Chain A
């Protein structure tokens, strides 16, 4: 166990303690204060690693888990993992602090809340610090499960349960696909270790499973990161408490997919399939999210769509940047590597401003009782701190100076502009689409940022529509968003500190070709002259302002698209149809009639045995070894057939019972003919008793009813029974004709010497194979007990 292992395990262990702390200290101390220590300690200890990682070192430790299967719990930390670790623990600290003031210690079941939260934190740390793909998968699913639990935290609400179920279905679907991809990769490379896979890139690229493995892993990443068309779960996940939305659904969990794509870029990057899938899906998601965000009236839904859109942006950049691996180390690679750098940079920026925006929305919700834009307005004077925080957050999101979003947005434009000039992967055909779509999406981003800011804080204050009189939040609640907002500004003014210590090591982790040169030296600066990117930003501000002013006029366009054609409606439709179909299918064959099931069983018997006899040429007929037939024996056989047919055709039950008795006596006659005296005796006695039993029940059982059934029904029965009869006859004949070896019964002829018995059959029953007889006695005992119980049993209120 290394310190890294302990860091991952710590939240889990602490989660065990939370219920006790809750029980002993509520309501004196808010449970959150105890939980607060965990992410804080983790964050501070992660800070310690920064200098070493910045020097290009990596940390890895291994603990055997299932060594016989080659599955070891190996932790691994490089620049990429470190950034995610810092985000998880850092924002985790702030979210816990915020939740202490947000979640009431009197009304909420805080122990559940913090146990789930800690589970999530540990799982997420496990995802980013794991080297073994199967262990990574385990932690990945744990994030899905803890997210499910957190979304349904207010499980009394129907919408919470719906959102939780939806996110669970979609992310687990992707997770399972990802597992399949991991297994394929480990089949190709014969290792579960990521670092060892990085050394076998050539083998993987040449293998036929390359494409399936890539697509399956991407499915996992896309579902988790809410990429198009799997983005539908994220807006519904907004039913979670706001600290959770801020933490899971904006800053950390949805970036697990981003992490996965970045982590696997060294393996899959530099290929046209990877490049196109990621960059185009990212671009579509960017546009889809930003357009949909504008029409939302719920603040959290707006932020959810904006998260989708920004995740698409990061994903797109990762796709574009992966082209660097195509070129190998050189000037061209450096140009595209800048896109990767922009992706990581924006990842950090997004976590800061989106986290703070969610917290501010939570404050508004907490202090006014609503998140509906139509009810809010004029809060600027009443909530000045929240107003300032929203300005910072939304301007950063819109990509305006002097906030960090501006820098990453400019870098994004640089990335798409470079990509449009690329002449690999047939980019020359579609290249211009990238900057165009990116620019349009940015205009919409600008519009919804302005909606978020102005519709909430400007305009008329409408106290009648609000549940409570609006006022500023308590100090404790605004600490976390203030810290995040200060980071937004700090990063703008000192981006190169971040770049040197965090972005460069992460870049080397994603693009190992830069490992020797120690990364690329990109100076992030706020001002770089009058270039195309700046003009694009100016255009965004111009058009965005114009469109925001005339929002009422053109937003009616959204009404043109019917609600029936949304992705959500499609999802609901598909779920409903699948349930209906499987229910209908099950009802169709699970009829509840014994007869039908017996028909299935017999049909399978006929088809399987008949088919295999046919296929393997098992049918044989050889009558040369047959014993001769005397007239007397023939007569008995004919009598048996007549008796059986009588049972079949009997109109009254008495006839049928007597015919069965006749059949039984004729069987014992056959036993006499075939030299089986013991059998004949037993059969006679048993048949007599059985018939007596039948006659006893006869008095109580109803008269034979006429089998009034349709002809078709009888025809099926006839076909099935003839089939069974024919199959049994064929088996009997074939088995009789092909005797493979001599019977072992000559051994039993020594029964006098071995067992002192002259009756061989009895010697077998009690001596050679005595256990059979013992168990047969048990059967008789149990049956008689059963009969006794059934007769004596009197159920209350029945008879």
Chain B
């Protein structure tokens, strides 16, 4: 399973990177979104998969899945959500102001 997950993470990274290298602003945001998913899955995979029951003591399992990566991912998801929201509004704002979403045209300023 871990090997499969590693490949999945790699593929997600690949697609995310390709999107980030695109010109349209929306594609770039989608790319970062995919990469963040990949990162969350990577953290989870590295903690070892299916080594026990869910980390809830009430379930009286003999062993539990590693809880630390889950806590880390939970933090990461929330932070990522905040950043994505800001990024989206920023791109909306930039589009309103500049009139384009083409990164090739969003370049430099008149003073340069």
Contact = CB atoms under 8 A, between A and B. Distances in A.
A702 B15 contact: no
B78 A725 contact: no
A702 B95 contact: yes
Counting chain A CB atoms within 10 Å of each CB, the highest count among B67, B74, B78 belongs to B67
A330 interface: no
Nearest to B53: A675
Interface in B77-106: 77-79, 81-86, 88-93, 95-97, 101-104, 106
Contact of A780 (B57, B68, B78, B103): B78
A764 interface: yes
A645 B12 CA distance: 9
A678 B70 contact: yes
Given A595-B103, A704-B26, A697 B74 contact: no
A575 interface: no
Contact of A644 (B11, B42, B81): B11
A704 B24 contact: yes
Interface in A697-755: 697, 700-702, 704-705, 707, 709, 717-718, 720-722, 724-726, 728-729, 732-733, 735-736, 743-745, 748-749, 751-752
A752 B71 contact: no
Contact of A598 (B21, B44, B70, B75): B21
B5 to A, nearest CB: 8
B79 to A, nearest CB: 5
A677 to B, nearest CB: 6
B10 A725 contact: yes
Contacts of A660: 30, 33-34
Interface in A625-657: 625-629, 633-634, 637, 640-641, 644-645, 647-648, 653, 656-657
A694 B34 CA distance: 14
Given A593-B104, A641-B8, A718 B18 contact: yes
A626 B2 contact: yes
A667 interface: yes
Interface string A68-106: 000000000000000000000000000000000000000
B79 A776 contact: yes
Interface stretch (A138-146, A364-372, A389-397, A785-793): A785-793
A682 B17 contact: no
B74 A765 contact: yes
Given A697-B88, A704-B24, A743 B3 contact: no
Interface string B11-49: 111110111111111110010011001101110111111
Contact of A686 (B20, B52, B70, B77): B77
B30 A656 contact: yes
A701 B15 contact: no
A721 B18 contact: yes
Interface string A600-627: 0010000000000000000001010111
Contacts of B2: 623, 625-627, 736
Contact of B92 (A676, A701, A765): A701
A627 B23 contact: no
Given A660-B34, A776-B75, A787-B89, A676 B15 contact: no
Contacts of B91: 697, 701
B47 A717 contact: no
B92 A764 contact: no
B46 to A, nearest CB: 6
A644 B12 contact: yes
A689 interface: yes
Nearest to B21: A717
A769 interface: yes
Given A702-B95, A725-B10, A790-B93, A732 B46 contact: yes
Contacts of A773: 75
B50 A761 contact: no
Given A627-B50, A718-B18, A728-B13, A760 B75 contact: no
Contacts of A595: 21, 23, 103-104
B87 to A, nearest CB: 9
Nearest to A623: B3
Interface in B57-74: 57-58, 64-68, 70-71, 73-74
A682 B82 CA distance: 13
Nearest to A744: B68
B15 to A, nearest CB: 5
B78 A758 contact: no
Nearest to B39: A728
Contacts of A798: 97
A648 B15 contact: yes
A571 interface: no
Contacts of A594: 103, 106
A679 B43 CA distance: 12
A449 to B, nearest CB: 55
A707 B22 contact: yes
A674 interface: yes
Interface string A677-691: 111001100100110
Contacts of B15: 644-645, 647-648, 721, 725
Contacts of B33: 660, 664, 690
B56 A677 contact: yes
Contacts of A759: 55-57
Contacts of A721: 13-15, 17-18, 21
A536 to B, nearest CB: 65
Contacts of B40: 667
Given A640-B8, A736-B2, A787-B89, A648 B96 contact: no
Interface string A656-675: 11001001100100110111
Contacts of A671: 44
A790 B101 CA distance: 17
Given A682-B74, A726-B10, A745-B68, A700 B92 contact: yes
A749 B112 CA distance: 59
A697 B92 contact: yes
Contacts of A625: 2
A786 B93 CA distance: 12
Contacts of B9: 728-729, 732
Interface string A464-501: 00000000000000000000000000000000000000
Contact of A675 (B30, B65, B82): B65
Contacts of B58: 758
Given A595-B104, A674-B44, 16 more contacts: A627-B51, A633-B4, A640-B12, A644-B12, A648-B15, A667-B37, A704-B27, A745-B67, A749-B67, A760-B56, A764-B71, A773-B75, A776-B79, A784-B82, A791-B93, A798-B97
Interface of B: 1-15, 17-27, 30, 33-34, 37-38, 40-42, 44-58, 64-68, 70-71, 73-75, 77-79, 81-86, 88-93, 95-97, 101-104, 106-108, 112
6 contacts: A633-B1, A677-B56, A721-B17, A751-B57, A779-B83, A784-B85
Interface of A: 592-595, 598-599, 602, 621, 623, 625-629, 633-634, 637, 640-641, 644-645, 647-648, 653, 656-657, 660, 663-664, 667, 670-671, 673-679, 682-683, 686, 689-690, 693-694, 697, 700-702, 704-705, 707, 709, 717-718, 720-722, 724-726, 728-729, 732-733, 735-736, 743-745, 748-749, 751-752, 757-761, 764-765, 769, 772-773, 776, 779-780, 782-784, 786-787, 790-791, 793, 798-799
